[in-house]
Amino acid sequence: MSKTIFSSPGKYIQGFGILSELGEHLKAFGSNALLVADDIVWGIVGDSCVTALETAGVSYTYNAFSGEASTKEIARIAAIAKENGTNLVVGIGGGKTLDTVKAVADDLKQPVVIVPTVASTDAPCSALSVIYSEDGVFESYRFYNKNPDLVFVDSQVCVKAPLRLFASGIADGLATYAEALAVQRTNSNSMVGGRPSIAGMAIARACEETLLTHGVAAYEAVSKQLVTPAVEAVIEANTLLSGLGFENGGLAGAHAIHNGFTAVHGDIHKMTHGEKVAYGTLTQMVLENRPLAEIEKYIRFYRAIGMPTTLKDLHLEEASYEELLKIGELAGSSEDTLQNLNDTLTPDEVAQAILAVDRLSNALK
């Protein structure tokens, strides 16, 4: 019998300059925190985090994230937590750091607090992680019994991150409603194992509407490191609305094709998650046979925020057809979500759609 499930983090807090309050909020979950961030992020916000925890009387151990959300890295960080007797895991940074920290907290059966420093992915709010090999190849989704206990977003910190990452978050968020509609149409399950709920679909739709309405204005503001109402709206859409929307609405072609891109070598691996999702969203739209005007609308929007819409933009202009078939094959694996779009799609059909996006974009002036 089918069922409807809605899942969400325990609490979401967003605001300008709130990082100084982090320690007070952590006290509700533990007294000895393991803080995980990469060296770049720690260099930017480390002092502020330490001051906030010391002021609140929360003990901590810091460990640097190595850069890949792999099984080996998860085990390494969990071992450090055990050695230091921590009782709370805090992830500070971007998507792969946060996905790793969620897995560590799950292994330790401890609360997890997520502190995004970029509004670049929908990873912070979800009860899942994307697991990669140590070489960065997609392996699987890892699911958890609960979402993060707290997601804590300082908008002042987020606008200081590279503009490209902010735009990537918009592109990642724009896949939310497109994929949720596909899941609903094929009567597939969402990422929490049930049919998309009314609430989940409404949130996914609000995510798309917010990004299309305010995305370009927010992009321009963030280019000057300004926090405006449009920026606050887009940070919320990139982080909360997209996170709740994809998890409760489901994933389909856009993210599966993103994962498929990990099957090929080259400079495409210098592209961000959102940049690859943007091209995956356009490819899904071609596979759905969406009206040309709708696809062109998305292409123009992506161009306005610097997202890739051609194979040259993705550094795949020299890719062979055999490499495109590898992308389609990995996207269609049983571990991924392409079947939520259409369970009969072949690697050839995906490869043809990837090429079609390139042609449509190059033809659009």
Q: Which of 106, 122, 154, 255 is catalytic?
A: 255
Tell me the residue type at 64: A
Q: Which of 122, 154, 172, 313 is catalytic?
A: 172
Catalytic residue check, 348:
no
Candidates 133, 117, 56, 58; CA nearest to 89 is 58
DSSP state of 156: H
On whether the CB atoms of residues 122 and 250 are closer than 8 A, the answer is: no
The two structure tokens encoding residue 319:
């890719």
Handedness of CA 154, 151, 120, 202 (dihedral sign): negative
The H or E element spanning position 153 is: strand 150-154
Q: Which of 99, 106, 149, 258 is catalytic?
A: 258
The two structure tokens encoding residue 33:
């925190």
Candidates 149, 160, 86, 155; CA nearest to 114 is 149
Q: Burial of 365 by CB count in 10 Å (0-12 exposed, 13-18 middle, 19+ buried)?
A: exposed
Q: Which of 25, 99, 154, 273 is catalytic?
A: 273
Catalytic residue check, 315:
no
Q: Active-site positions?
A: 172, 255, 258, 273
